[in-house]
Structure 1
Amino acid sequence: MLDRLYLDEGRIQAMARGIREVVTLPDPIGEVLETSQLENGLLITKKRVAMGVIGIIYESRPNVTSDAAALALKSGNAVVLRSGKDAYQTAHAIVSALKKGLETTSIHPDVIQLVEDTSRESSYAMMKAKGYLDLLIPRGGAGLINAVVENAIVPVIETGTGIVHVYVDKDADEDKALSIINNAKTSRPSVCNAMEVLLVHEDKAASFLPRLEKVLVTSRKEAGLEPIQFRLDSKASQFLSGRAAEAQDFDTEFLDYVLAVKVVSSLEEAVEHIEAHSTHHSDAIVTENAESAAYFTNQVDSAAVYVNASTRFTDGGQFGLGCEMGISTQKLHARGPMGLKELTSYKYVVTGDGQIRE
């Protein structure tokens, strides 16, 4: 929680960079998506339009305030922000700064609104604000997201939690795998694109897992860093030191220096496990086998599927979207990191010369 709330000069500068990147992106509003002319002469143009008023209910991350406001404005929308109470004062300061900046532009500062009431009642009021909000996006833990999905009567885009898997295939390059896992787990474990579950092919377990313990435990202790705590299935416990995994460990978003580890007998078993336990956020395979990579990317039904890369790249900035409104784990209306285009809709403009339908 403290890491999520924490702001220093580096994080503030990163927020500012995110806004500047959004400013430089092409304006999506008015973009012509398709045109066609019918036999009767009607010209049909499909154009991108703003969504309207977007509500965001979020918990603690200060950057959500600036990211959401920047993306909403650039995509032609107004935004209603409802911060968690722990981050409210920070959110208020950020919104005040943004509104002050808008005073020197043609955009009315009130297009950004921050809900002052941080009680549960204000969240439920937003969920029921049909006719006022065109879209509601929750960003936070599973409890918040489930509450919004189950109770909202306004359209919702679900930004799911991240039970993120990395599978080390029998044909994996072990050095690549060590680097990818170290980054995916330890660079910032409190974020939704950090890995939570490691699957290792049984042919790799004996050689790879002791090396992994050296990187994630021994070397981190020597460097004065917090070591990873393992939750191990029976096969993994033969090669790693840690606590025996319980069933729920493979369905838990730890957001901490904790990693569940399972040894599997095949690529197919790895995919079956992922499909049974994944939140369909981000999942990765490490392999030098092109056929295995193709099977994995075709069969794993997640918003972002990786081959030989860290799952930490599932991020709007890393995907070239500037910042992001969240990472959608549903299939309608948007999927994956939500940038400007994902915050728009479209309409058809039909131009004629007196045509009537016979």
Structure 2
Amino acid sequence: MSSADSDPVMPRRTSANRIFRAITSPYYRYRHAKLLHSVRVGLAMMVSIIATSGIHIPHGIWSSVTLLVVIGGLQHHGNIRKKATERAAGTLLGATIGLALILQQNLIGSLWLTYVLMSVVAAICAWYAIGKGGYIGLLTAITMCIVAGHGDNLIDTGLWRTLNVLIGIVIALAFSFALPLHATYSWRYLLADNLRGCARIYTCLVGGAPLDPDEQIKTFLELNVRLVQLRTLMPSVAKEIEAPPEKLEEIQRVHRSVLSALEIMATGTLAHADAAARAAFAQQCGAEAHAVRAMLLAMARGLRFGGAARFLAPKVVLARVPGSALALHLAPELQGPYWLGERMIEQVDRLRALLLETEPNWNIERHGAHALLTPTPR
């Protein structure tokens, strides 16, 4: 029998298996977040139309309007529970106020009183709309107008619209949790991209290769954009993984310090040095530079694939050259960039330690599965 006959043949994945694997993959959902969110909202819209127009519920359009208001802008899992609850609460409160306005209009019959009351409610909602929990105030005013109109709606119209609002809320909350994009994954992948970018820039700087000015500006712009995106994700990440916010803040601070050091090195004396000076600088950095690059890439891979062991190596020996010995190897104008590089290495090592310390929190695919498999002690 030939060896080819004895080798096991791996079964080919079916199209359904490939689609299921892609949709359930966190990285796929991160790369196609807008597509998945649009599909989710589109399916929810279809369900709302069928649930109202399909059984001829009057004023069914307001179910779809409520649906879009509640989940139209929600993506990350950490936002969904809080924001959806706020929006649902505001919608219910607005529907209640709208019905109350219709009742008082039917009892008193003064349109001007209704207009004044609606204006007062709108002013109060505007007060609370600016600040924490602002969605509640905003949606209270919007739903009040949907249900009551300008106070001239009939009570049965208000009740039907209230029912449609409730239907829209239920559908929105149900679809809010369908294949959510965890903010933790977005945070990890963005940080991994920045660490790879830092590794590329650092390799060019300490390797003696000059950076193209236009490419340098573009690269640092991309790094800073991702840095800002990481900042906006931190509240959602803290809710999802129950990590101490101060730890995430320290990771962000150290990350920012690494970027600042690289930008100073890229635009300072080293950027204007001649080829001989660059070669001397590269020789002085030596194996330490390769270790730093390996550490940055190892952290990026660990964040991308969820492997904590990658953070354990390589370890960088810091500040091995005494300050007095720098003059023997480098020109005076390059001692500053070398010192800055040493401080950047310390920050990289600190970042590695922070990520390793918080790995049980952010590595949700590994530790989340372990928690499900571990029986709860009685």
**TM-score scaled to structure 1, two decimals?**
0.27
Q: Which has the larger radius of gyration?
A: 2
Structure with the larger strand share: 1
Structure with the larger helix share: 2
Asked which structure has the greater RCO (Cα within 8 Å, sep 6+), the reply is 1
**TM-score scaled to structure 2, two decimals?**
0.26
